[in-house]
Amino acid sequence: MMPTHVTLVDVGPRDGLQNEAQPVAAAQKIELVHRLQAAGLKEIEVTSYVSPKWVPQMADNAEVMRGIRRPPGVRHSVLVPNMKGLEAALTDPAARPDEVVVFGAASEAFSRRNINCSVAESIERFRPVVAAAHEAGLKVRGAISCAVGCPYQGEVTPDEVELVVRLMKAIGVDHCGIADTIGVGTPRRVQAVMERALKHYPLVEVSGHFHDTYGQALANIYACLEMGIHHFDASVAGLGGCPYAKGATGNVATEDVVFMLHGMGIATGIDLDALVDAGAYISGVLGRPPVSRAGKALLAKRGVAVEAAGAGA
């Protein structure tokens, strides 16, 4: 049955900005988070506590976390690959996240490239992270990259995904995020993978994270909705990519997902116009038009030249 309400996690500040070659100031990241909050986003993936040698774009993690307003009801999450990341995320009470995300992969090759260890080793690294996060009262989401295909290994089978789902469940990860890192998934393939996740996690704790590289993300979200899945990651202005997955473009744009869901009578709690403003803001910072089709269309309807919306801010 189709859900009547969908929760969207905007991952733009993290997944989007981790991939930008040009520097984005902490103040601009903070402003983006504030604009997402103003648009009604209740879940925002703000940053990651990873090695600054691997991803220099996220080196200002604590500064951004300290700088954001924390209105009640809004959950802020951060990525942590290991205990060092979790400890850094918890050092300053003023920078404390509501949730942490451990990120593994269904493909051995991608696991090595992205977090420098095998799938089995990654689970052993996550085990104490999950326990310590729980002890600190934090929810732990798990992300499983390359759940439909891998840039290094090619085909990834539902069996390979289910193995990692099962391992994440065994170490106590609360939520299972299935990620199509390189956007090669198509609806039936995605449903086959989601079925495996749903064997181990309840509907409320399964989500989809779809990069839109091949233009399939909205169709894949629709396919998940048909299964009752009602939790998705999306990225304002279609920002995103992964530095360790060459050619992977951004996540599905939050504006496009909201436009589709509202058109289907599915509530999100998000104000699309305010979200379009947030997308125009960050696109202006980056000096390019938003990737979101709905964002561009709505800006054009307002009489804002789309190039002007991306002309620096």
Q: Which residues would be at the binding site for Mg ion (CB under 5 A)?
A: 15
Which does residue 57 bind out of ligand HMG, Mg ion, none, counting CB within 5 to 8 angstroms by kind?
A: none
Closest contact distance (angstroms) between CB of 30 and ligand HMG is 20
Out of Mg ion, ligand HMG, none, what residue 126 binds, judged by CB under 5 to 8 A for its kind, is none
Q: Is 242 known to be catalytic?
A: yes
Dihedral pair phi/psi, residue 96, rounded to 5°: -70, 130
Instruction: Say whether 309 sits in a helix, a strand or coil.
Output: helix
Number of H helices, E strands in the chain: 12, 10
In 103-238, alpha helices (H): 108-115, 119-135, 158-170, 187-198, 217-226
Of residues 15 and 256, the one with the C-beta less far from ligand HMG: 15
Q: Provide the 10 A C-beta neighbour count for residue 22.
A: 8
Q: Is 145 in the site for ligand HMG (CB under 6 A)?
A: yes
18 binds ligand HMG (CB under 6 A): yes
- Dist. CA 105–CA 33, nearest whole Å: 27
Residue from 244, 252, 278, 291 touching ligand HMG (CB under 6 A): that is 244
* Shortest Å, Cβ 36 to ligand HMG: 17
Q: Does 81 bind ligand HMG (CB under 6 A)?
A: yes
Examine residue 15 and tell whether it contacts ligand HMG (CB under 6 A).
yes
**3-class state of residue 303 by DSSP:** coil
Considering only residues 20, 40, 42, 51, which one is a binding residue for ligand HMG as defined by CB under 6 A?
A: 51
Cβ 167 vs Cβ 123: under 8 Å: yes
Q: Indicate which residues carry an active-site annotation.
A: 242
